[in-house]
């Protein structure tokens, strides 16, 4: 897959609209985690070096098509300004513009000096954004000459600011978008074998398409997290009070059948950690998957499974990991997640990618980020990409 990359001539002296993924967590009126803002810097700095006149847009949270005071981009503008200044980028000011279309934007762009960046208001304050409304897309594009999409994390959504706007402007992929697609393509296009996938996390429904698509692509898929229990139910086991998505048990049964007929191996835990209560556990035990008692719930992969997964990862040449192995936010239920992170770190020869909100948080928190080849900024987008699906925001940027 080849994406359109901008050159100096494409952007020099031009008014450029940059779609970034600045959908950051907020806390008491400020930005709680600046990771995504930091990830958007290289593209902005590069465009500035090329002499572009830059406006940035993003969505933030789920305002459902109307202005919500607590989801305004103003605190993000402050963070972006601070990070750009600390970077020594030559950009001194980030000006917050209280809308993303219309007169406010026109005037701000007309008055903009080259060493400032405009940050426009939350695109999702307009209902046309998620509907990919043609008129709204035209309004977004109107003050600009070039569009650069750097929002890999939103590339799986066909919205006005990711897809519609490309019908009105010459459109290119930004630096982060290029880096993500290059890193993830190493997994989708001829991955070195054995290709081992570790899938965990909470919602089996989010990961079913990936699980389905990996059959035939991956050599082994190791299952942890709450997903284990819906799959266990599909095998006819009882799982006590563990988290189960009843309505996906049948789909899980089909997936198990598909794997049994393919060369790919679906590896379920032999044992799990169980407890009576996550917040204040009185009893913690290690149980065989088939022996969970009625009052117990599974909260992590078990002791034997940690060793078994480490062994499965030890000879892997390509590794993709999404979703923690247990309720890692509560010790000691982080042990399975730590074991997988350690196993990946112990195999530095392998090309390893971690994607997904909580998985990345776990890897950072546990201090294993340096041992991973690529940490994806996209959760849903990286799952769909690795699953071999076509992402609408990327499709419109291909050569
Ligand atoms: P990611 O964001 O990496 O894609 P998910 O959002 O799917 O991952 O799931 C992350 C959440 O899954 C974590 O908050 C973790 O506490 C939870 N989780 C993992 N294992 C279990 C389990 N056995 N029971 C309940 N929740 C679990
Ligand atoms: Mg998540």
122 and 72 share a domain?
yes
Look at residues 154, 178, 202 and tell me which one is the last residue of a structural domain.
Answer: 178
In-domain check, residue 321: yes
Structural domain harbouring 80: 8-178
168 and 259 share a domain?
no
Query: How many domains does the chain fold into?
Result: 2
132 and 196 share a domain?
no
164 is known as an active-site residue: no
Please give the structure tokens belonging to residue 376: 């994806």
**Atom 4 of ligand 1 has which residue's CA nearest to it?**
356
Is the pLDDT reported for residue 106 higher than 90? Answer: yes
174 and 204 share a domain?
no
In-domain check, residue 397: no
**Strands ordered across the beta sheet of 318-322:** 265-267, 220-223, 195-199, 318-322, 351-354, 374-375
Quote the CA–CA distance of 27 and 280 in Å, as a whole number.
26
Total Cβ atoms within 10 A of residue 205? 13
* Residue 366 exposed, middle or buried by CB count within 10 Å (0-12, 13-18, 19+): middle
246 and 268 share a domain?
yes
Which among 131, 241, 265, 380 is annotated as catalytic?
380
198 and 297 share a domain?
yes
Is the pLDDT reported for residue 1 higher than 90? Answer: no
In-domain check, residue 79: yes
Tens of pLDDT, residues 167-187: 999 999 999 999 999 999 999
* Residue 2 exposed, middle or buried by CB count within 10 Å (0-12, 13-18, 19+): exposed
In-domain check, residue 244: yes
Give me the pLDDT at residue 53, please.
Answer: 98
130 and 208 share a domain?
no
The CATH number given to whatever domain includes residue 265 is 3.40.50.1260
Find out whether 130 and 124 touch, Cβ atoms under 8 Å. yes
Q: What percent of the chain has pLDDT over 90?
A: 89
Sign of torsion over alpha carbons 99, 103, 104, 106: positive
In-domain check, residue 3: no
3-state secondary structure 135-158: HHHHHHHCCCCEEEECCHHHCCCC
Is the pLDDT reported for residue 206 higher than 90? Answer: no
Q: HSE of 9 in the Cβ direction (CA atoms, 13 Å)? A: 0
Q: What is the mean pLDDT of residues 227-240?
A: 97
Measured from the alpha carbon of residue 328, the closest ligand is: 1
Q: What is the mean pLDDT of residues 106-131?
A: 97
Tens of pLDDT, residues 17-39: 999 999 998 998 899 989 899 99
135 and 253 share a domain?
no
Max Cα-Cα span within the chain: 69
285 and 337 share a domain?
yes
Question: Is there an atom of ligand 1 within 6 Å of 303 CB?
Answer: no
208 and 337 share a domain?
yes
């Amino acid at each position: 897959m080849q994406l359109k990359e901008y050159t100096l001539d494409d952007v020099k002296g031009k008014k450029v609209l940059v779609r970034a993924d600045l959908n950051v967590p907020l806390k008491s009126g400020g930005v709680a985690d600046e990771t995504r803002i930091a990830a958007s810097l290289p593209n902005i700095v590069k465009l500035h070096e090329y002499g572009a006149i830059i406006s940035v847009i993003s969505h933030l949270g789920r305002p459902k098509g109307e202005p919500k005071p607590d989801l305004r981009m103003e605190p993000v503008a402050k963070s972006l300004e601070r990070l750009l200044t600390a970077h020594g980028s030559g950009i001194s000011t980030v000006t917050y513009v209280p809308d993303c279309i219309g007169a406010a934007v026109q005037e701000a762009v007309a008055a903009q000096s080259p060493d400032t960046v405009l940050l426009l208001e939350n695109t999702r304050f307009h209902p046309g954004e998620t509907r990919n409304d043609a008129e709204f897309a035209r309004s977004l594009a109107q003050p600009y000459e070039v569009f650069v999409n750097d929002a890999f994390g939103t590339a799986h959504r066909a919205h006005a600011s990711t897809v519609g706007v490309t019908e009105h402007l010459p459109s290119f992929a930004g630096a982060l978008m290029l880096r993500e697609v290059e890193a993830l393509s190493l997994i989708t296009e001829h991955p070195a074998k054995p290709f081992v996938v570790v899938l965990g996390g909470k919602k089996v429904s989010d990961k079913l398409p990936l699980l389905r698509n990996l059959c035939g692509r991956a050599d082994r898929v190791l299952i942890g997290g709450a997903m284990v229990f819906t799959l266990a139910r599909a095998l006819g086991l009882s799982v006590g009070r563990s988290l189960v998505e009843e309505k996906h048990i049948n789909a899980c049964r089909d997936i198990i059948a598909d794997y049994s007929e393919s060369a790919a191996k679906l590896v379920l835990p032999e044992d799990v950690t169980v407890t009576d209560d996550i917040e204040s556990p009185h009893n913690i035990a290690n149980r065989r998957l088939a022996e969970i008692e009625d009052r117990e719930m599974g909260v992590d992969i078990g002791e034997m499974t940690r060793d078994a997964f480490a062994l499965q990862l030890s000879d892997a040449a390509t590794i993709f990991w999404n979703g923690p192995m247990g309720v890692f936010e509560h010790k000691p239920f982080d042990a399975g997640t730590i074991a997988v992170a350690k196993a990946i770190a112990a195999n530095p020869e392998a090309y390893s990618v971690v994607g997904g909100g909580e998985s990345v948080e776990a890897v950072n928190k546990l201090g294993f980020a340096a041992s991973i080849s690529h940490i994806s900024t996209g959760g849903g987008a990286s799952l769909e990409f690795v699953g071999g699906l076509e992402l609408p925001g990327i499709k419109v940027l291909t050569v």
